[in-house]
Amino acid sequence: MAFMASPTNEDAAPPFEAAGGTAALGAGQTGWMDLNLPAGDYVTLCFVPDPATGKAHAEMGMMTPFSVK
C-alpha cells in the first residue's frame, strides 16, 4: 500500500505480484474472482482512472488490505 501511495522510483519494480483482476464495473454491478491464495497478507487495488484527476483510484487511496489464514 505504501508503494502505491508514494512510489519512490517509478522505474522500480513493485514489491508485489499481480493475481488477476476484473474489468471496470458500473454502479450497482458486482464482480467476482475465485482465487486460491496461500496464507499471507494481500491488498486489493483499483486501477480505474478517476475522471476528474486522471489518477488511478489506487493512487487516491482505493486499496483494501486483507489476510488469508
Q: What is the pTM of this model?
A: 0.70
For residue 4, pLDDT over 80 is answered with no
Tell whether 28 is covered by a domain. Answer: no
Into how many domains does the chain fold? 1
At 51, which amino acid appears?
A: P
**Burial per residue of 24-54, b for 16 or more beta-carbon CB atoms within 10 angstroms, e otherwise:** eeeeeeeeeeeeeeeeeeeeebbeeeeeeee
What is residue 5's predicted lDDT score, i.e. its pLDDT?
Answer: 66
pLDDT, tens only, 5-14: 666 666 777 7
Tell whether 2 is covered by a domain. Answer: yes
What span, in angstroms and rounded, lies between the C-alpha atoms of 2 and 19? 18
Q: Which helix (H) or strand (E) element contains residue 20?
A: none
Tell whether 13 is covered by a domain. Answer: no
Tell whether 31 is covered by a domain. Answer: no
Range of the domain at 66: 1-8+39-69
pLDDT, tens only, 25-64: 889 999 998 999 999 999 898 889 999 999 988 888 899 9
Tell whether 50 is covered by a domain. Answer: yes
Tell whether 53 is covered by a domain. Answer: yes
